[in-house]
Amino acid sequence: MVRVVGHLDLDYFYAQVEEVLDPSLKVKPVLVCVFSGRTEDSGVVATANYLARNLGVKSGIPIATAKRKLQGIDAAIIRMRHEKYEAVSERVMSLVEENVDVLEQTGIDEAFFDLTGSSGGDFGGARATAIRIKESVLKSEGLTCSVGLGQSKAVAKIASDYQKPNGLTVVAPESTISFLGPLPVTRLYGVGPKAAEAMELMGVKTVGELSKRSAQDLEARFGRKLAAYFAAAAIGADTEPVAPRGEPTQLSRIVTLKQNTTNPEVAFEQLSGAIEDVHRRLVSRGASFRVISAMAILSDLTVKTKSKTFETPVSDLATMRDATKRLLTELSGTAGKEFRRVGVRVSDFGSSENQSSLSQYLG
């Protein structure tokens, strides 16, 4: 049976999250930066929105270079806030997961998914699912993403990159060869600069040219295994399955308090949404935990943790809230310093037996 594989990649991810958090940024070049702290401008641009990209700013360039390019322009230069992007990423991934057969997250803002079963191999039906996924990510998080569909992971990944931002590229099996043919070989996963150079020496620049080379030709240059992979990838026939990553063994969230405090009630209030978030992720995995921990990062940046272990696995929100409140109170009694950030973590998961039947009914 023909496979239906998708790849989703959130557009200019860190910068787009910043735009969602502050919509007034949308009209400006936005740079999300990692400051090294050595001098005021030391560091690199992690990513930039499309307004900034059009002015020559891109991931990886020094902040000072970016500032030069944007001289005289009203641009937003923002310090990277990884925990914000992480939280958005987790919500997007669980949303996508609800709409697909299997999800394999491969980065903070990208994932492969499989729709073979639910679409019955019909790319028209799969396209409708992809549209639905894009709409729900936009509706619930305000984010655009680019999605590709194809008969294999390699094709889906190239397809999601084909039209950006906010793209949807569907490569049905019968158009795979004509879609891949004109692309440079470097677009194939696993063809780095070295392999591309070796291919160029053989007179191979495009995927179409690669697909026409004999097995012997490729084997002489790349060895048997790699040659077989390149030959398959060039016609979109790579067979790697979409495989879910190992389940996490813990779930956690941490928040920065509006103001440092010694008051556990105040800290708990501000952690409340994060506890609900952890609970929601726990439930969506059908998991339950035996250990819950409260973490506090103090005003002098030392980290303190207190944990409670339950005899039997639990998963209800009230218990989580109650335990976290108590643990924060204990922490505040022994910390000796103000809380700056606080967090909650659940771990030591027991699998909940009705998990598969639940997802069957919901699916």
* Contacting residues toward ligand TTP, per CB under 6 A: 9-14, 46-47, 59-60, 108-109, 164-165
Enumerate the H helices of the chain as residue ranges: 13-21, 50-53, 63-69, 82-99, 116-119, 123-141, 153-162, 176-180, 193-201, 207-211, 215-222, 224-234, 264-284, 317-335, 355-362
Which does residue 314 touch among Ca ion, ligand TTP, none (CB within 5 to 8 A, set by kind)? none
- Neighbouring residues of 128: CB distance < 8 A, sequence distance ≥ 6: none
9 binds Ca ion per the rule CB under 5 A: yes
CA 233 to chain centre: 24
Name which of ligand TTP, Ca ion, none residue 60 binds, using a CB cut-off of 5 to 8 Å depending on partner kind: ligand TTP
Specify whether the CB–CB gap between 93 and 133 falls below 8 A.
no
Q: What minimum distance in Å lies between the beta carbon of 81 and ligand TTP? A: 12
Q: Which one of Ca ion, ligand TTP, none is in contact with 14 (Cβ closer than 5 to 8 A by kind)? A: ligand TTP
- Residues 11, 146: contact at Cβ < 8 Å? yes
Question: Smaller CB distance to Ca ion: residue 10 or 17?
Answer: 10
Nearer to ligand TTP, 12 or 349 (CB): 12
- Residue 110: active-site member: yes
Name residues contacting Ca ion, limited to 93-132 (CB under 5 A).
109
Token pair 């043919």 in the structure block, residue: 181
Catalytic residue among 110, 135, 174, 338: 110
Name the strand (E) or helix (H) holding 104: strand 102-107
Site string for Ca ion, 60-99 (x = CB under 5 A): ----------------------------------------
Residue 165's binding partner out of ligand TTP, Ca ion, none, with CB under 5 to 8 Å set by partner kind: ligand TTP
Q: Which two tokens stand for residue 359?
A: 């997802």
* Nearest in space to 8 (alpha carbons), one of 142, 119, 166: 166
9 or 19: CB nearest Ca ion: 9
Residues lying near Ca ion in the complex (CB under 5 A):
9-10, 13, 109
Q: Which residues are designated catalytic? A: 110
